[in-house]
Amino acid sequence: MPNDLHPDLRLPPIRALRAALNTPGSHAALIERVLVASTGPAAAHVYTERFADSARAAAHAADAALAAGQPLAALAGLPVSVKDLYDIAGRTTMAGSVLRAGEPAAEHDAPAVARLRAAGAALTGLTNMSEFAFSGVGINPHHGTPRNPADAVVARVPGGSSSGAAVSVALGLAVAGLGSDTGGSIRVPAALCGLVGFKNTQSRTPTAGAFPLSFTLDTVCSMSRCVDDCLIVDGVLAGAPLAVTARSVRGLRLALPQTLLLDALAPDVASAFERTLSRLSEAGAQLVPLALSELDEIAQINAPGGFSAVEAWATHRRAMQTQRERFDPRVALRVALGEGVSAADYLTMVQRRHDWIGRVEQRLAGFDALICPTTPITAPAIADLLVSDEAFFKANGLLLRNTFPINFLDGCAFSLPCHSAGSLPVGLMLAAPAGHDAALAGVALAVESMLQAA
């Protein structure tokens, strides 16, 4: 039966944790507890490499600053995990694969990693992921699959591609997990594991030093336990915090899309979503049905392989031609979709997407956010997807169905947990066009507060 994410392992929100870590050695003690827990059975396959020594050093530096009465940086001495997609100086970036073994080590930390270090974060290690970030499921045949902590009986997928990042936070091994989001890779695992995920506007955070899946769609972002934590980390990653204005649920104008995003919801997702809509309406939010038929155009615009496949083929074409047997076979199938797509077809896809974004932004004008379930299903069992390609690709398509349009829009979005205690996690997605991150954050804080008041 489902359980509630091992409450004994939860970490409090960052601000509360910072207030609690007010005695000599408290940061070091926290990191030791986290490092021990990261080697336990619940954390199997979460990390591909651990950074025990550097994490301890960051904790001791935070304790020393505290003892000296110095102000602490935003994440000083707090455990943060890093998806195995980011360059770490002196290490080869593996990106969840085995194909990159022997490639040159990175000369510098990725900017996202460097900014976390500068904010004092105790980086605990590199987290597991779908190979080359090309799956919303989170299964990895090379390094194993982290088990979703939300179910104590059935081993369920954590969601991907930021699978280890999600489980590290869900188990209380990190206050935040640095991941990435190309088609939903932050929001999907956040939704399936009962966390908050924030996909910012792509241009807000530097993508340099992150192994690419799609140059067009890749976004550097993170997941945590609450909206405020996501905003703290986002401020670090972006180099400046968002200027967020507090909002009330009363008066929010929310677009309820009638095309695609509400189709064929699993019963538990539909129930959680309808319950949330009822509470929003009772609290004074205005829920406005919106046809948004433009969502039906995505499949056609993206048809010549899709941005992810075409751009992944450009990255991996030599390996696909000489070492295809070393890829995760399911990833290889998706990369191969980009083979043979002409430059003319690709440029047409770019131009049509640009036109589509302009039209959708006009449709969403006047709304505070678009609202829908983050995923139309809850986390499937790992075993079911291991044995069947058909089941795997069906689940992968469903898990990414609602999140991908926001990447296609170059929008921003939050996923908030909206399920009842004791049930499998369900995510609520709030989304807006590019550049509306601060306004959307105010909406997310208001909706989160309403959900937590239950």
Active site amino acids: 83, 161, 185
DSSP string across 338-390: TTT--HHHHHHHHHHHHHHHHHHHHHHTT-SEEEEES-SS-PPBHHHHHS-HH
- Quote the CA–CA distance of 129 and 49 in Å, as a whole number: 12
- Total number of residues shown for the chain: 454
> What interhelical angle do 329-336 and 307-322 show, nearest 10?
120
- Quote the CA–CA distance of 324 and 91 in Å, as a whole number: 24
- Quote the CA–CA distance of 440 and 446 in Å, as a whole number: 10
Please, which residues have CB within 8 angstroms of residue 112's CB and are 6 or more apart in sequence? 86, 178, 205, 206, 209, 210, 220, 237
Please, which residues have CB within 8 angstroms of residue 313's CB and are 6 or more apart in sequence? 305, 320, 335, 336, 337, 338, 339, 341
Sheet bearing 79-83, strands edge to edge: 47-50, 122-127, 79-83, 176-180, 220-224, 196-199, 412-417, 427-432, 369-373, 253-257, 286-290
The first and second tokens of residue 198, run together, are: 């924030």
DSSP string across 81-95: EEETTB--TTS---T
- Quote the CA–CA distance of 376 and 122 in Å, as a whole number: 35
Distances (CA, A) of 422 to 194, 265, 275, 399: 11, 20, 16, 22
199: how many CB neighbours lie within 10 A of its CB? 31
- Quote the CA–CA distance of 264 and 273 in Å, as a whole number: 13
- Quote the CA–CA distance of 440 and 443 in Å, as a whole number: 5
- Quote the CA–CA distance of 1 and 208 in Å, as a whole number: 42
341: how many CB neighbours lie within 10 A of its CB? 19
Backbone angles phi, psi at 416, to 5 degrees: -120, 140
Residue 79: DSSP 8-state: E
